[in-house]
Structure 1
Amino acid sequence: MTAQLGSPLALPCGAVLPNRLAKAAMTEGMATPDGRPTPELDRLYGIWADGGAGMLLSGNIIIDRDHLERPGNVIIDREPDEDMRHRLARWAAAATRAGNHFWAQISHGGRQTQKLVNPHPKSSSDVKLALPGGQFGKPSPLTREEIADLVQRWAIAARLPAG
C-alpha cells in the first residue's frame, strides 16, 4: 500500500500528481484585510509543500468581498492589480516548490456568510442556515443579474492562480 501512495496519479483532466497524498482545503484566515495573500500564507504553504503531498488544496479564495467565509480570506473578485498578481504568484510558487500541485478552492460564502461580515447575505434561496448560535443572517435570493456577475467573478478567479 505504501508503494501505491507514493506512485504518480493521472487524473481524468490530464494532470498527473506526483503521489496520491493531498492536503485538504482548510480555512487559514491569513490574508490582509483587503484579501491579499501574505508572506505568512506563503510560508505556511511552503511548509506544507515540503511535507510531500502531491496536491495542496487552498483555503477559501472568495469571489465576493461581501460574502467571505471568514475574515482573512484571500479575495479575487475582479481583475487583480500588479501587487495582487505578484502576491498570488509568490503564494503559488511557495505552494508548489516541492514539485507538487496547488489547486484553488474558489468560494462564495452565500448563506454561510457570518453576520459580522454581512448581516444580510445573498444566496441561492432565502432559507436561513439552521445552526445554533445565531451567527448567520437570513439570506435573500440572488437575482439573475447577480448570478451572471458571480459567474464572471468565478471565471476571473479560476483563471488567475494558474497564471
Structure 2
Amino acid sequence: MPHIITAAPLGQLAALDVHQLYKLRVDVFVHEQRCPYAEIDATDADPQTVHLLAWDADTHELLGTARVFPAAPTDAALADAANGAQIGRFALAPAARGTGLGRELFQAAVDLGERMHPGQPLYLEAQAGLVDYYASFGFTPVGELFDDEGVPHQPMLRPAP
C-alpha cells in the first residue's frame, strides 16, 4: 500500500486532517479498545508536540498516527527521561495492520524524537501487551506497571544513541 508520512504541530494541520487524526484515535482507543476517556488533551495543541500522520498515497485516508513531545514522566525515578522526547498515541487503522507500516511509522517517531532532543533518551508508556514490540526498537521497561483508564501500562526508556 503506497503511503506518505508527514509530521507537523497541530496548528499547522488542515482542519479535515485534524478531524481524521482524532477520528482514528477515537476509533482505536475509545471504541476498539473500549477505553472511554477524553482523547483530546492539551499535549495535542502544544506547539512543541509534533504529530506524525501516515496517509494512503492514493486515497488520502489516514492509516496511522503518533505524536512526539517533550517527555513528562510522572515517576520521579524516571527523571533522566525528562530532558528527552516522549512518543505517544501511536495508532494504526485496522487496514494498515500487518503491512509493515506500523514499524515504519514508529521508527519515524523514534527518529523525530532523536532529532528533537539529540543525545537524550526517549520515553513512552506502553500498553503492557506491547512491551515486546517496543523492545524491538530498543526500549526497555523501567519503573512499575500502572493503570491508565483500566489498561495496564509499562513505562519504557530507550537510551540516548
Q: Provide the TM-score with structure 1 as the length reference.
A: 0.30
Q: Provide the TM-score with structure 2 as the length reference.
A: 0.30
Greater strand proportion: 2
Between structure 1 and structure 2, the one with the greater Rg is: 1
Greater helix proportion: 2
